[in-house]
Structure 1
Amino acid sequence: MTEEQPRGGYSRDGEDEHERLDRHWNELLQELRLAQTGTQILFAFLLSIAFQPRFQDADNFTHDVFAVTLIASAFAVGLLLAPVAFHRIVFQKRLRDQMIPIAHHLASGGMALLVVAMCGGVLLAIDVVLSRTIAVVIVAVVALWFIGFWYVLPTYVRRTSRPTGE
């Protein structure tokens, strides 16, 4: 491996700025397609819970967890769909260089809210079948799982790898 080559020999020599922006936008759209689908299904499922007769009789803790989870899910959907709406409004205005960093932050915020929504959904389900204490412990483990794989591992790899000009 030479000094000029990034770790692993992967490089995009010859890619101009426009090609790089187009590639980044397409990669972001692919990531959003995956995240949006699951988040929208979770949101729809949560909406159906509120209208179940058994849910009406649940305690305040369950109603509070449900409310936070539903709102986090709705906000996640909003942030994960925001880059699409943003693109529709600035389409053909030659603003991709500005759009990509903004869309990146919107998607990152949506993913963070998705962690909250997933943990809330797990807590709602596990609280029904196990004791509340065990349910909270399990949700803490689930939260650490998401944080570890979604944030800690990529941050570690990013900080220990040589920059590639990506």
Structure 2
Amino acid sequence: MTDGTEQAGRDESAEERADRQWQELVQEIRVAQTGVQILFGFLLTVAFAPVFAGLAQTEKTIYVVTVVLGSLATGALIGPVAFHRIVSGRRIKPEAVAWAARLTFTGLLLLLATCTSALLLVLRVATDNALATWLVGGVFAWYVLCWFVLPLWARVRYTAKR
């Protein structure tokens, strides 16, 4: 190693590490992008369904919020692609990886809000409002556990102080 920046267990330069991190991030983004794009595309069609006009104003408001959240999530999760394309070849891959990771995390938070809001809308229409709130709260807690709590727990638990 020539630059003295290797991590324990890896013998890679800063550039090699950035390349590896970029590839890992791209794989993560592919999963999230697919989900948000399918959800967002479906949401865009809802307003054109005949039953939409009969929804109460509260449900219409939840719908608008959900569509905006889905749009923001889509932008954040596609953002790293545009970022990479614009800065490609400028020898700033470590910085690009850091910014892409921030956009991806922001996109995941917005995807969490979109999924929760979409579920609230569907369950308010399909069930009793009180039941919908409890079900959405439970699913929200599950998302938070799976997406954030368990990874943070593993990070703390298994990151050895070396």
CA 151–92 in structure 1, closer or farther in 2 if over 3 Å, else same: same
CA displacement at 1:17 relative to structure 2: 1.8
Give distance in 1, aligned partners of 2:109 and 2:125.
25
Give TM-score scaled by structure 1 length. 0.89
Q: CA RMSD in A?
A: 1.5
- The correspondence for 1:146, drawn from 130, 143, 147, is 143
**Number of matched pairs:** 155
**Structure 2 stretches of 5 or more lacking a match?**
1-7
Flag as ranges the 4+ runs of structure 1 deviating above 3 A: none
Q: Residue 149 of structure 1 aligns to which amino acid in structure 2?
A: C
* Structure 2 contact 14–94 (Cα < 8 Å) conserved: no
Identity %: 37
CA displacement at 1:164 relative to structure 2: 7.7
- Identify the structure with bigger relative contact order (alpha carbons < 8 Å, sequence gap 6+): 1
Q: Deviations over 1:89-117 (max 9, x none)?
A: 00100111111111111000000000111
User: More deviation in 88-97 or 118-127?
Assistant: 118-127
Q: Deviations over 1:44-96 (max 9, x none)?
A: 10000011121111001101110111111000000000000001100100111
**Structure 1 stretches of 5 or more lacking a match?**
1-10
CA displacement at 1:13 relative to structure 2: 2.6
- The correspondence for 1:63, drawn from 37, 60, 68, is 60
Give TM-score scaled by structure 2 length. 0.91
Give distance in 2, aligned partners of 1:96 and 1:20.
10
